[in-house]
Amino acid sequence: MKLKALTAAAALLVAPGLALAGPDDDTLVINGETEMVTKTEAPAHMEETGISEIISGWHFRSDETQALEMDDFDNPGMVFVDIGMEQWETVEGSAEKSCASCHDAPEDSMTGVRAVYPKWNEEAEEVRTLAQQINACREDQMGAEPYGYTSGEMANMEALISLQSRGMPVDVAIDGPAQSTWEAGKELYYTRTGQLELSCANCHENNYGNMIRADHLSQGQINGFPVYRLKNAKLNTVHARFKGCVRDTRAETYSPGSPEFVALELYVASRGNGLSVEGPSVRN
Amino acid sequence: MRILTATCAAVLMTAVSAAADEVAPDDVTFGEYGAVETSLTGTEGDAENGAMVMKTKSMGNCISCHQVSALSDAPFHGEIGPMLDGAGDRWSEAELRGIVSNAKNTFPESMMPAYYKSSGFIRPGDGFTGKAGEEPLPPLLSAQQIEDVVAFLMTQKEE
């Protein structure tokens, strides 16, 4: 914000008359107290990409959009945390339990959870996303109907749980039993789909910082999910965003919750290992 | 409804022009370095219409990725691909036709979509619906639109 004049000056220096490429240098502090890591050294597995620094999508947005995430009273996503809290305490299903029946207060039980998902589940012998774990809890422990994978209820619950890891570094495991899923996700990341033949990497690895029409391309980090988007005025889940992106390559999309998107989520999350958990974040 | 009518009209037009000497996407001959020597339609390109195709989001949408000073009346030029000012100096008509039709024959790693290609895609979709599409897909631009864009690019000379 203070940097606005500086940014304008830099834009002139870089290329007169063109939009400024690249992320800005602002600092994200939430509520004047929680300083977030929004730029940091790329994890070791990204060495082959040539990217040395990973950057939160927050840096690619306008000062006005950035400001919305700096105060919980301004963050439109926080309303959904409150609704998520109501869901947390609501008794549902044949076991007549709520989330709170087993997990008490999310402030105590859910700290650090968001940061490590998707995660290998030993019992199920599969990598599970947070959404899948929430639904496994609902079905197996509560005897309740699962939430729709990208539904508002799911987004609310993810927002509530993500908030308990705010400021903690994303730290998903990519080795051991998770490795084959991670490899599958990586392959998908570089696959050029659809009639436009575009991969995730085309935009988010090779062109972040550049403008595509009126959009400022980011690294496509998912540390801020669920994301309140000004564009559709609601909380958005990771898989809904993936689906939108693949659709925009004029491809047949994968389904939210599909093995492909679970793998992709693990891989993309791992590219953000070290960035702070921001959910619910605000983007355009 | 209006879209349906437009689609029907487009289909009719395609059918009519296909009856002429139009080269189908799968039949285009690319040279060793990706150039296409022969006109796709045999009809001279219309540079003015080419400019319109390049600016229009639902058509070429070229300015999404390229800056073109001559098209500055349309907002938000992207910065993904090279600036196209002077393209007519740097490339021949055949080279431009090849690049617009399928740039990957000229630049194998190019991010640029192929505007005149209808098969050989991974998970081809039905437009922007997210649903499966069946190959051969209609190419992103018609043969004549390709010729029109090439004609416009040939007018882009700096000297």
What pLDDT is attached to residue B26?
Answer: 96
Measured from the Cβ of residue A132, the count of other Cβ atoms closer than 10 Å reads 20
Which of B85, B111, B115, B116 is the best substitution to test chain A (most A C-beta atoms within 10 A)?
A: B111
pLDDT tens sequence across B8-22: 444 444 444 454 689
Q: Average pLDDT, stretch A164-181?
A: 98
* DSSP labels, A222-283: -TT-SEEETTTTEEE-HHHHHHHHHHTTTBPPPPTT-HHHHHHHHHHHHTTBTBBB--SEEE
Q: Residue A284 carries which side chain, given as an amino acid letter? A: N
- Helices B93-102 and B143-154: angle between axes, nearest 10 degrees: 130
Backbone angles phi, psi at B79, to 5 degrees: -135, 35
Q: Which of A198, A247, A248 faces B111 most closely, judged by CB atoms?
A: A198
Shortest CA distance to A170 belongs to which of A268, A274, A56? A274
What pLDDT is attached to residue B20?
Answer: 61
Chain B residue with the nearest C-alpha to that of A211: B78
What pLDDT is attached to residue A100?
Answer: 98
pLDDT tens sequence across A57-70: 999 999 999 999 99
**Cα torsion through A131, A132, A133, A139, rounded to 10:** 110
Q: Residue B18 carries which side chain, given as an amino acid letter? A: A
Q: Which of B79, B123, B130 faces A18 most closely, judged by CB atoms?
A: B79
Q: Which of B79, B113, B126 faces A196 most closely, judged by CB atoms?
A: B113
DSSP state of B82: -
Chain B residue with the nearest C-alpha to that of A251: B125
Q: Which of A1-15, A102-116, B13-27 has the highest mean pLDDT?
A: A102-116
Backbone angles phi, psi at A262, to 5 degrees: -65, -45
What pLDDT is attached to residue B158?
Answer: 86
Dist CA A257 CA A132 (whole Å):
8
What pLDDT is attached to residue A13?
Answer: 41
Q: Test A251 with B122 for CB contact under 8 angstroms.
A: yes
B63 and chain A in contact, CB less than 8 A: yes
Q: Test A18 with B67 for CB contact under 8 angstroms.
A: yes
Beta strand extents in B19-157 (DSSP E only): none
Q: Which of B79, B114, B126 faces A211 most closely, judged by CB atoms?
A: B79
Per CB-CB distance under 8 Å, the chain B contacts of A247 are: 125, 128-130
Chain A residue with the nearest C-alpha to that of B116: A195
Q: Test B67 with A21 for CB contact under 8 angstroms.
A: no
pLDDT tens sequence across B122-144: 999 999 999 999 999 999 999 99
DSSP state of B104: G
Q: Is A102 a catalytic residue?
A: no
Q: Test B79 with A21 for CB contact under 8 angstroms.
A: yes
Size of interface A-B (CB pairs under 8 A): 84
Check whether A6 has a pLDDT greater than 80: no
Check whether A181 has a pLDDT greater than 70: yes
What pLDDT is attached to residue A158?
Answer: 98
Q: Average pLDDT, stretch A194-220?
A: 97
B123 and chain A in contact, CB less than 8 A: yes
What pLDDT is attached to residue B1?
Answer: 40
pLDDT tens sequence across B52-78: 999 999 999 999 999 999 999 999 999
Per CB-CB distance under 8 Å, the chain B contacts of A211 are: 76-80
Check whether B5 has a pLDDT greater than 70: no
Q: Test A252 with B133 for CB contact under 8 angstroms.
A: yes
What pLDDT is attached to residue B25?
Answer: 97
Q: Test A247 with B125 for CB contact under 8 angstroms.
A: yes
Shortest CA distance to A157 belongs to which of A105, A97, A81, A101? A81
Q: Average pLDDT, stretch A77-105?
A: 98
What pLDDT is attached to residue A20?
Answer: 53
What pLDDT is attached to residue B70?
Answer: 97
What pLDDT is attached to residue B159?
Answer: 67
What pLDDT is attached to residue A19?
Answer: 46
Q: Test A250 with B125 for CB contact under 8 angstroms.
A: yes
Check whether A239 has a pLDDT greater than 70: yes
pLDDT tens sequence across A242-258: 999 999 999 999 999 99
What pLDDT is attached to residue A3?
Answer: 41
Shortest CA distance to A88 belongs to which of A35, A20, A144? A144
- Residue with the larger pLDDT of the pair B8 and A165: A165
Q: Test A246 with B64 for CB contact under 8 angstroms.
A: no
pTM given for the model:
0.91
pLDDT tens sequence across B83-102: 999 999 999 999 999 999 99
- Residues 130-149 of chain B with CB under 8 A from chain A are 130-133, 137, 140
Dist CA A117 CA A270 (whole Å):
10
Asked if A279 and A227 touch (Cβ cutoff 8 Å), the reply is yes
Shortest CA distance to A256 belongs to which of A136, A99, A147? A147
- Rounded mean pLDDT of chain A? 93
B128-152 burial code (b ≥16 CB/10 A, e <16): bebeebeeebebbbbbbbbbbbbbb
Check whether A7 has a pLDDT greater than 60: no
pLDDT tens sequence across A10-48: 444 444 334 456 899 999 999 999 999 999 999 999 999
